[in-house]
């Protein structure tokens, strides 16, 4: 399994669903601060060590990735930002997930095809917003849930 590049991640989302998420995710890499409440890979629950940041990455090709980290390892939920649709609740959007990326340290090193969605709102609206991702590959399931603190983004 190889990972094309995690720096490809969250671009066309802002254009496709601007009304729902008000320019989130933005082009490039953005760190969202808050609290991770769930990070599960297959039967392995690493929620306890889940970091207080989620990265949103939008590449120039429109690929969007939400990256959760725990214990020095990364889990990315990746999809085509052009496929983003309004979510079921007002002010939310859904990104169809096509690939799960994995890595350690600062490098993504693996990927597997998976189907699922990430549902999110604008995490910088001044109030907490949840970013919730789930996907399944032929071998396992992946779940992540993160609630922003509503504060302004930090670009990396």
Looking at residues 125-149, what average pLDDT do you find?
Answer: 95
The pLDDT of residue 143 is 97
DSSP state of 60: T
pTM over 0.85: no
Token pair listed for 130 = 């949840």
Instruction: For residue 3, tell me if it sits in a domain.
Output: no
Q: How many domains does the chain have?
A: 1
Measured CA to CA, the distance from residue 42 to residue 59 in angstroms comes to 28
Strand partners, 99: 78, 113
- Which pLDDT tens digit goes with each residue over 58-69? 999 999 999 999
Token pair listed for 135 = 């996907």
Looking at residues 132-136, what average pLDDT do you find?
Answer: 98
Instruction: For residue 2, tell me if it sits in a domain.
Output: no
Range of the domain at 80: 12-155
Instruction: For residue 16, tell me if it sits in a domain.
Output: yes
Instruction: For residue 73, tell me if it sits in a domain.
Output: yes
């Amino acid at each position: 399994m190889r990972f094309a590049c995690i720096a490809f991640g969250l671009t066309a989302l802002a254009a496709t669903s601007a009304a729902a998420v008000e320019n989130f995710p933005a082009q490039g890499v953005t760190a969202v601060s808050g609290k991770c409440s769930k990070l599960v890979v297959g039967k392995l629950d690493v929620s306890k060590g889940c970091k207080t940041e989620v990265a949103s990455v939008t590449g120039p090709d429109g690929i969007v990735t939400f990256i959760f980290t725990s214990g020095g390892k990364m889990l990315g939920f990746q999809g085509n930002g052009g496929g983003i649709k309004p979510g079921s609740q007002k002010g939310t959007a859904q990104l169809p997930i096509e690939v799960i990326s994995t890595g350690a340290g600062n490098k993504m090193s693996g990927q597997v095809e998976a189907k699922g969605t990430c549902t999110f709102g604008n995490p910088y609206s001044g109030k907490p917003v949840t970013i919730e991702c789930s996907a399944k590959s032929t071998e396992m399931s992946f779940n992540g849930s993160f609630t922003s603190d509503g504060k302004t983004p930090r670009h990396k």
